Chain A
Amino acid sequence: MIGEFFKGLFLMIWKVVTDQPDPKVEFVSVFPATIQPIISVLLSIVPIIMVFASLFALTTLLERKGLGRIQNRLGPNRVGPFGLFQPVADGLKMLTKEDIVPHSADKLIHFLAPIVLLVPTLLAYAVLPFGQNMVPIDMDAGILFFFAVGASTELSIFMAGWSSRNKYSLLGAMRAIAQMISYEIPLIISSVTVIMIAGSLSLVEIVDKQSGYHFGFLPHWNVFTPWGLAGFIIFLIASLAESNRSPFDIPEAESEIIAGHLTEYSGFKYALFFLAEYLGMFAVSGLAVTLFLGGWRAPLPFLEIVPSYIWFLLKLMGLVCLFIWIRGTLPRLRVDQLLNFAWKFMLPMSLINLFVAAIWHFTSVWNFRGAGLGRWLLCAAMIAVPYVWLGRTLIGNKKITHRTYRFAN
Chain B
Amino acid sequence: MLGEGIIKGMVETAKNFVGSYHDPKRLTTVEYPENKIPAKENARNFPFLVFDGVDADKGLRCVACQICEKECPPKCIYIIKDTVKKPDYMGKMQIQPKIFDIDISVCMSCQICVEVCPFEAIKMDTQFELSTTDRFENLLLNKRELAKPNEYYHKIHPTEATEVDERLAAEKAKAEAKAKADAEAKAKATVAAAAAKAAPTPVPAPAK
List residues of chain A with CB under 8 Å of any chain B CB: 66, 69-74, 325-326, 328-330, 345, 387-388, 390-392, 394-395
Contact = CB atoms under 8 A, between A and B. Distances in A.
A15 to B, nearest CB: 40
A330 B27 CA distance: 21
Nearest to B7: A329
A330 B17 contact: no
B23 to A, nearest CB: 9
Interface stretch (B8-16, B102-110, B137-145): B8-16
B133 to A, nearest CB: 19
Given A73-B27, A73-B29, A74-B29, A325 B14 contact: yes
Given A328-B13, A388-B1, A72 B6 contact: no
Q: What is the interface residue range for chain B against chain A? A: 10 to 19
Given A325-B10, A329-B10, A72 B2 contact: no
A391 B10 CA distance: 19
B28 interface: yes
B1 A72 contact: no
B13 to A, nearest CB: 5
Interface of B: 1-3, 6, 9-10, 12-14, 16-17, 19-21, 26-29, 31
A325 B13 contact: yes
A330 B10 CA distance: 8
22 contacts: A69-B16, A69-B17, A69-B21, A72-B16, A72-B19, A72-B26, A72-B29, A73-B27, A74-B27, A325-B14, A326-B10, A328-B13, A329-B6, A329-B9, A329-B10, A330-B6, A345-B2, A388-B2, A391-B2, A392-B2, A394-B2, A395-B2
Given A391-B3, A392-B2, 11 more contacts: A69-B16, A72-B27, A73-B27, A74-B31, A325-B14, A328-B13, A329-B9, A387-B2, A388-B2, A390-B2, A391-B2
B6 A391 contact: no
A345 B10 CA distance: 21
User: What is the interface of chain B mostly: helix, strand, loop, or mixed?
Assistant: helix
A71 B3 contact: no
Nearest to B4: A391
A-B pairs, 4 with minimum CB distance: A391-B2, A329-B13, A329-B9, A70-B13
Contact of A72 (B3, B9, B20, B31): B20
Given A387-B2, A391-B1, A391-B3, A70 B9 contact: no
Most buried by B among A72, A330, A390, A395: A72
B10 to A, nearest CB: 5
Most buried by B among A71, A387, A388: A71
Given A74-B27, A394-B2, A69 B10 contact: no
A71 B31 CA distance: 15
A237 to B, nearest CB: 10
B28 A72 contact: yes
